[in-house]
Amino acid sequence: MAYDPNNIFARILRGEIPCRKVYEDDFALAFHDINPKAPVHVLVIPKAPYVSLDDFTREAPAELIAGFVRAVGAVARQLGLEDKGYRLLSNIGRDGGQEVPHLHVHLFGGRTLGRMIPDAD
């Protein structure tokens, strides 16, 4: 899938749409999810055009991959979650339920999060 430069997270990166920013460095931007599923629900995105983790792990330079993963950890520590813990999730493609085609990692925390994934119907 080709990267769509008009996806909503690309527009947030360009400053065309506001976000509730949590963290920013050279590699990543983190902001609160507009429809939170936990007391803490933050999205961490790379500052580069990758559709998903599949695309990112095939194409991205090592420096960006390292910087992005470090940023995810830094966001969690900035939010004070490292002791109690938290959950990371990245939806990829159709079966993953990905809605926004710019790589993002969901960071959930602030309560006991329960089962990892609901049972199938």
**Residues making contact with ligand AMP (CB under 6 A):** 8, 17, 19, 33-35, 43, 91, 97-100
Closest separation in Å from C-beta 8 to ligand AMP: 5
Residue 32 annotated among the catalytic residues of the structure = no
Numbers of helices and strands, H then E, in the chain: 4, 5
CA angle 16–20–24, rounded 5-degree value? 85
d(CA 1, CA 114): 33
| Catalytic choice (32, 41, 102, 104) | 104
CB 75 within 8 A of CB 44: yes
Q: How far is the CB of 17 from ligand AMP (least distance, A)?
A: 6
Question: What one-letter code names the amino acid at 3?
Answer: Y
Cβ of residue 92: shortest distance to ligand AMP, in angstroms? 9
Q: State the Cα–Cα distance between residues 81 and 117, nearest whole angstrom.
A: 21
Q: List, by residue number, the catalytic residues.
A: 104
